């Protein structure tokens, strides 16, 4: 059977055995199709059924999460932990709390995480989890009771050398704190079972900033290859959460001008450049809608989502040199990339996971727009989580610039590995292909070494 037919067969059987998991199929299709040059060169992967194995999680845990709201009513959510692949290390990946969460979304994120973690060069396997719980509008007490109930089940399946969850959408420092407190109460262990912890109780300096900073470092590497840099560039960013805020901060530090940010309700355009302190106050301290931004900065404009042109994300209609999708999956479609291209954007660097639709990725590739694919560009978060684990295991504590320097070096080595692999397989500069092949090869070879498990 040809390699193409073999991949097609795996896609068909994945769709048949796991119906309705569209985001998962999208992630699998992207990885498998970009492995073609490797599979042509190395028959061992299909001879040993590596692809069939790698698309099936080693374990998936689905559980009921029951908690009491402030009015005394009993509420019920679904919890997930997908332990996807442990060939190169213990499972590692974030927890997402968002009403859109289902098994297909957690599986897409867990699948991506396998290759991302491999690319970092660190010993971490791939996993992901979360719940359809919506933290928005909940009191602190409600968030705490939910986290405690969620951890009561999750604690049976994780451990510092087994599975080490972290944050993702809807799970930040507050949630990690409540989750860790409950884990400790249940197990009597103070260990590094979660990352993204508070600085006073085992967290690493620069972990909060890491994904956003890392994404900008990755963009610097891409532009550096063209003897260019982010300095002086107009940047558009979507999202206004952890990744977006620290992307904006690093861009400002390096002399770029970020002019947009967004949340699920609308977007801000500030031609003078996003005011970082205001953004942090609104989102990190007050947890408000971005609409508040224009009250403090009336020269900026706010556009609510219902006024976006049809089938368009208005963030990507703002003229820019470089774009950083940093909110969620499939937030940049074909219309959006055409808008970006028309307005002269030369680089799309993905802070979010799978933010660009397959049609938009194809447009990026055929129009030679520079592209930082998520599993490489946003790997700084998980890499710094591993640095947090190293500090916990050795009882060490590194300074901010020490961690930040390590992060910057890791992002450079991820870029070099992805770039060199793209060159090795005859499509120099195709970082999506380079990242997928490099990430896959290390995991697949480890699976082969470890036998039929």
Q: In what order do the strands lie in the sheet with 301-304?
A: 260-263, 266-269, 301-304
Q: State the minimum distance, in angstroms, from the CB of residue 381 to ligand NDP.
A: 3
Rule CB under 6 A: say whether 328 interacts with ligand NDP: yes
Closest to ligand NDP by CB, 169 vs 417, is 169
Rule CB under 6 A: say whether 139 interacts with ligand NDP: no
Place of tokens 């300074």: 399
Rule CB under 6 A: say whether 242 interacts with ligand NDP: yes
Closest to ligand NDP by CB, 67 vs 213, is 213
Q: State the minimum distance, in angstroms, from the CB of residue 48 to ligand NDP.
A: 31
Closest to ligand NDP by CB, 158 vs 210, is 210
Query: Which part of the chain contacts ligand NDP (CB under 6 A), choosing from 9-17, 19-27, 324-332, 428-436?
Result: 324-332
Angstrom CA distances, 92 to 115, 207, 236, stand at 12, 15, 30
Rule CB under 6 A: say whether 274 interacts with ligand NDP: no
Q: State the minimum distance, in angstroms, from the CB of residue 435 to ligand NDP.
A: 14
Rule CB under 6 A: say whether 151 interacts with ligand NDP: no
Rule CB under 6 A: say whether 130 interacts with ligand NDP: no
* Joined tokens for residue 177: 């704190």
In this structure, the chain runs to a length of 453
Q: State the minimum distance, in angstroms, from the CB of residue 419 to ligand NDP.
A: 21
In the set 7, 194, 243, 348, which binds ligand NDP (CB under 6 A)?
243
Closest to ligand NDP by CB, 321 vs 388, is 388
How far, in Å, CA of 205 to CA of 399, rounded?
Answer: 7
Place of tokens 């409540």: 178
Rule CB under 6 A: say whether 339 interacts with ligand NDP: no
In the set 86, 378, 391, 421, which binds ligand NDP (CB under 6 A)?
378
In the set 23, 168, 270, 388, which binds ligand NDP (CB under 6 A)?
168
Closest to ligand NDP by CB, 327 vs 340, is 327
Q: Which of 151, 110, 101 is nearest to 128 (CA)?
A: 110
Angstrom CA distances, 37 to 2, 189, 416, 426, stand at 12, 47, 19, 8
Rule CB under 6 A: say whether 239 interacts with ligand NDP: yes
In the set 152, 211, 221, 335, which binds ligand NDP (CB under 6 A)?
211
Residue nearest to ligand NDP (CB): 241
Rule CB under 6 A: say whether 3 interacts with ligand NDP: no
Rule CB under 6 A: say whether 65 interacts with ligand NDP: no
Q: State the minimum distance, in angstroms, from the CB of residue 242 to ligand NDP.
A: 4
Closest to ligand NDP by CB, 209 vs 321, is 209
Q: How many residues bind ligand NDP (CB under 6 A)?
A: 23
Rule CB under 6 A: say whether 118 interacts with ligand NDP: no
Active site residues: 128
In the set 49, 264, 286, 401, which binds ligand NDP (CB under 6 A)?
264
Q: State the minimum distance, in angstroms, from the CB of residue 220 to ligand NDP.
A: 18
Binding stretches for ligand NDP (CB under 6 A): 167-170, 172, 211, 239-244, 263-265, 326-328, 351-353, 378, 381
């Amino acid at each position: 059977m040809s390699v193409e037919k073999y991949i097609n067969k795996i896609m068909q059987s994945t769709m048949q055995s796991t119906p309705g998991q569209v985001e998962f199929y999208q992630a699998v299709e992207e990885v498998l199709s970009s492995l073609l040059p490797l599979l042509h060169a190395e028959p061992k992967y299909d001879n040993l059924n590596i692809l069939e194995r790698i698309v099936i999680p080693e374990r998936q845990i689905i559980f009921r999460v029951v908690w009491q709201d402030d009015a005394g009513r009993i509420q019920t959510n679904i919890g997930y932990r997908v332990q996807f692949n442990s060939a190169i290390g213990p499972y590692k990946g974030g927890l997402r709390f968002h009403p859109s969460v289902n098994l297909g979304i957690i599986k897409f994120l867990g699948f991506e995480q396998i290759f991302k973690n491999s690319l970092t060069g660190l010993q971490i396997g791939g996993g992901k989890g979360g719940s359809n719980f919506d933290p928005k509008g909940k009191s602190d007490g409600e968030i705490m009771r939910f986290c405690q109930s969620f951890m009561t089940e999750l604690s049976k399946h994780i451990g510092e050398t087994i599975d080490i969850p972290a944050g993702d959408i809807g799970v930040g420092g507050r949630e990690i704190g409540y989750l860790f407190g409950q884990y400790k109460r249940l197990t009597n262990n103070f260990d590094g079972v979660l990352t993204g912890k508070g600085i006073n109780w085992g967290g690493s300096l620069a972990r909060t900033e890491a994904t956003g900073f890392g994404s900008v470092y990755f963009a610097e590497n891409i532009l550096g290859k063209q003897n260019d840099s982010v300095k002086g560039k107009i940047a558009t960013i979507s999202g206004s959460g952890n990744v977006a805020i620290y992307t904006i901060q690093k861009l400002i530090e390096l002399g770029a001008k970020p002019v947009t940010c967004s949340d699920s309700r609308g977007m801000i355009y500030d031609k003078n450049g996003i005011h970082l302190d205001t953004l942090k106050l609104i989102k990190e301290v007050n947890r408000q809608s971005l609409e508040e931004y224009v009250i403090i900065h009336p020269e900026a404009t706010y556009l609510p989502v219902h006024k976006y042109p049809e089938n368009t994300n208005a963030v990507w209609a703002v003229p820019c040199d470089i774009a950083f999708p940093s909110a969620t999956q499939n937030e940049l479609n074909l219309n959006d990339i055409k808008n970006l291209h028309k307005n002269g954007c030369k680089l799309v660097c993905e802070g979010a996971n799978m933010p660009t639709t397959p049609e938009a990725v194809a447009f990026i590739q055929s129009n030679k727009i520079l592209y930082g694919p998520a599993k490489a560009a946003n790997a700084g978060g998980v890499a710094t989580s591993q640095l947090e684990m190293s500090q916990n295991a050795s009882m060490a504590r590194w300074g901010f610039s020490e961690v930040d320097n390590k992060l910057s070096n890791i992002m450079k080595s991820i870029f070099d590995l992805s770039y060199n692999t793209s060159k090795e397989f005859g499509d120099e500069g195709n970082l999506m292909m380079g990242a997928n092949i490099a990430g896959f090869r290390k995991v697949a070879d480890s699976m082969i070494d470890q036998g039929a498990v």
